[in-house]
């Protein structure tokens, strides 16, 4: 699913209005009707108090128009206008008049002296600010927002939680509505998926307000949301006459005393996603462990017992996953530096390999084009430096990806894969996956996919999705706390199978049955 920017949404509005020869408040009416239908379907006329807090722009206009539909259907409403500016939008005013025609006068709030009482069993509709927010709200508006947050009532936000910037960092996090549900028009906003802003959104859904399909289809976006439909297009079916050589050879380089388990996880994950052959290159101490734990793989060893001191081998793998549990001893740093100067194979670079590179940025010039880097937040910071907010982080990673011609996997609740100017936001995964070895498994998954012939970008996007899905399937059986990295590996098969599951259809009973 494409994630359109606010600029693109405003443009889509203009094009739709022109093409369909409609006036702009018809779009607002569509938005309000969609909101109403969503609420009505769930509430079925229940006499719960609904407080609608509306700003003076089009987000507020949506709220005022929604209030009219709720009123017409007998809902118990109270309408407030958070009067933060004199510049009321045209469509807000049209809808305010329509409401007044029904003898409803909203409560105009100009300060926080007049905060209304809200019960925890009431519902709040949040239409104070939408995507037009362009500066931090005034102190009194922030106090209103805090009052709503403190009420414990269910908060339904229109388009975006009020106070949250859709495309830049929010300076004052106290001025943001904590939404239980966001109904977002036409596209979810990028802010919903980033660690600092995503926490304000419990759930979201997109409402289609029929913006020009032609424009939406043709328009390229900077970000895409990756779900099942997107990865199904990437899936490469197996051929009947294939043999193990068809699906490539993954080499996993890593391990040190006490960290051979990490290599076990990576190597096994590479096998489990279908790499034809997997070889691990580890210090001698890993030999028996790997041969015992994973009879399906081959093992090469360094001359040293506890750390890697040379990374030389004769085989020619299709891809190398490197860094897992490797440590950063002097000898390993020297070996890794030498390896980079002669290596021509595609790389998936993780953990200590990233840390070594962070300490010697010149090494970045030596990584092959289209290598995949898989840093967690701390590793990323060592690599690109500190950032002010999540949006600056994304901008910095894009620049980094372009400069070093690599793909960066920014690990997090919504892992984002960046290649040049474009970002792919993953939708699978859960907090149970914040556990030891989860990243080692991801490195194995991406390496194993790359070995089979997926392009580096597709291996990264698909790998991140499968890894998260395996976690979602596993957590159903283990719960968040008990999920461990091995559970992810065990569920990679189920994660593939899930791609082809047909969603269950609701059973519709006929009258004569």
Ligand X SMILES: NC(=O)C1=CN([C@@H]2O[C@H](COP(=O)(O)OP(=O)(O)OC[C@H]3O[C@@H](n4cnc5c(N)ncnc54)[C@H](OP(=O)(O)O)[C@@H]3O)[C@@H](O)[C@H]2O)[C@H](O)CC1
Interface ranges with ligand X (CB under 6 A): 9, 13, 27-28, 31, 55, 57-62, 84-85, 87, 89, 129-137, 158-159, 185-186, 211
Do the annotations mark residue 60 as ligand-binding? yes
Window 441-460: residues binding K ion (CB under 5 A): none
Give least dist CB 106 to ligand X, A: 16
Contact criterion met (CB below 8 Å) for 161 and 126: yes
Q: For residues 142 and 343, which CB has a smaller minimum distance to ligand X in the complex? A: 142
CA of 168: how far to CAs of 161, 226, 390, 395, in Å? 14, 21, 8, 11
Q: Whole-angstrom Cα distance, residue 513 to residue 511?
A: 6
Instruction: Tell me if 95 contacts K ion by CB under 5 A.
Output: no
Contact criterion met (CB below 8 Å) for 449 and 459: yes
Q: Binds 133, which of K ion, ligand X, none (CB < 5 to 8 A, cut-off by type)?
A: ligand X
Q: For residues 158 and 290, which CB has a smaller minimum distance to K ion in the complex? A: 158
Q: For residues 131 and 294, which CB has a smaller minimum distance to ligand X in the complex? A: 131
CA end-to-end distance (rounded Å), the chain: 39
Residue 347 tokens, joined? 């790389």
Read off φ and ψ for residue 54, nearest 5 degrees: -120, 140
Q: Whole-angstrom Cα distance, residue 393 to residue 513?
A: 58
Residue selected from 162, 358, 374, 415 as contacting K ion according to rule CB under 5 A: 162
Q: Binds 157, which of ligand X, K ion, none (CB < 5 to 8 A, cut-off by type)?
A: K ion
Q: How far is CA 190 from the centre of its chain?
A: 8
Give least dist CB 158 to K ion, A: 5
Q: For residues 120 and 135, which CB has a smaller minimum distance to ligand X in the complex? A: 135
Window 8-27: residues binding K ion (CB under 5 A): none
Q: Whole-angstrom Cα distance, residue 84 to residue 226?
A: 37
Q: For residues 85 and 334, which CB has a smaller minimum distance to ligand X in the complex? A: 85
Give least dist CB 397 to ligand X, A: 27
Q: For residues 15 and 289, which CB has a smaller minimum distance to ligand X in the complex? A: 15
Give least dist CB 183 to ligand X, A: 9
Do the annotations mark residue 159 as ligand-binding? yes
Q: Binds 162, which of ligand X, K ion, none (CB < 5 to 8 A, cut-off by type)?
A: K ion
Q: Whole-angstrom Cα distance, residue 427 to residue 414?
A: 6
Q: Binds 149, which of ligand X, K ion, none (CB < 5 to 8 A, cut-off by type)?
A: none
Contacts of 248 (CB under 8 A, 6+ apart): 275, 276, 277, 317, 318, 319, 450, 451, 452, 453
Q: Whole-angstrom Cα distance, residue 417 to residue 464?
A: 8
Task: Give the binding site for K ion (CB under 5 A).
Answer: 126, 157-158, 162
Summarize the annotated binding site for (6S)-NADPHX as residue ranges.
58-62, 130-136, 159, 262, 325, 376, 440
């Amino acid at each position: 699913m494409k994630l359109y920017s606010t600029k693109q949404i405003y443009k889509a509005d203009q094009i739709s209005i022109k093409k369909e020869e409609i006036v702009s408040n018809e779009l607002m009416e569509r938005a309000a009707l969609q909101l109403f239908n969503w609420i009505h379907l769930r509430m079925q006329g229940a006499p719960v108090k609904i407080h609608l807090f509306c700003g003076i722009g089009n987000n507020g206009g949506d709220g005022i128009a929604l209030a009219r539909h709720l009123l017409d259907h007998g809902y118990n409403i109270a309408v407030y206008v958070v009067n933060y500016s004199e510049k009321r939008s045209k469509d807000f005013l049209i809808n305010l008049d329509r409401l007044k025609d029904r003898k409803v006068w909203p409560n105009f709030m100009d300060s926080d002296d007049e905060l209304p009482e809200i019960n925890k069993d009431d519902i709040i509709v949040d239409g104070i600010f939408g995507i037009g927010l362009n500066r931090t709200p005034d102190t009194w508006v922030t106090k209103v927002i805090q009052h709503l947050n403190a009420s414990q009532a269910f908060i339904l936000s229109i388009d975006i939680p009020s106070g949250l910037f859709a495309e830049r960092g929010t300076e004052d996090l106290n001025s943001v509505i904590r939404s239980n549900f966001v109904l977002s028009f036409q596209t979810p906003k990028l802010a919903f998926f980033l660690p600092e802003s995503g926490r304000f959104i419990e759930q979201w859904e997109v409402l289609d307000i029929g913006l020009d399909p032609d424009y939406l289809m043709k328009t390229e976006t900077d970000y895409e949301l990756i779900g099942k439909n997107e990865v199904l297009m990437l899936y490469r079916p197996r051929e009947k006459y294939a043999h193990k050589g068809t699906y490539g050879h993954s080499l996993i380089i890593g391990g040190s005393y006490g960290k051979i388990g990490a290599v076990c996880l990576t190597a096994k994950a590479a096998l489990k996603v279908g790499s034809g052959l997997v070889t691990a290159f580890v210090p001698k101490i890993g030999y028996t462990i790997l041969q015992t734990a994973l009879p399906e793989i081959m093992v090469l060893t360094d001359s040293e017992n506890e750390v890697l001191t040379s990374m030389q081998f004769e085989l020619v793998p299709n891809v190398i996953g490197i860094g897992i549990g490797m440590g950063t001893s002097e000898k390993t740093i020297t070996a890794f530096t030498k390896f980079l100067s002669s290596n021509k194979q595609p790389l998936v670079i993780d953990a200590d390999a990233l840390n070594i590179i962070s300490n010697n940025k010149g090494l970045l010039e030596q990584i092959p084009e289209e290598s995949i880097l898989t840093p967690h937040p701390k590793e990323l910071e060592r690599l690109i430096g500190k950032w002010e907010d999540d949006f600056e982080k994304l901008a910095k990673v894009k620049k980094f990806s372009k400069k070093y011609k690599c793909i960066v996997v920014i690990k997090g609740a919504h892992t984002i894969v960046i290649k040049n100017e474009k970002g792919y936001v993953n939708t699978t995964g859960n907090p149970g996956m914040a556990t030891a070895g989860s990243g080692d498994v991801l490195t194995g998954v991406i390496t194993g996919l790359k070995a089979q012939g997926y392009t580096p970008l597709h291996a990264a996007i698909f790998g991140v999705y499968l890894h998260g899905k395996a976690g979602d399937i596993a957590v159903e059986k283990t719960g968040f706390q008990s999920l461990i990295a091995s559970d992810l590996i065990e569920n990679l098969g189920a994660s593939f199978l899930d791609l082809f599951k047909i969603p269950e259809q609701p059973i519709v009973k006929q009258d004569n049955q």
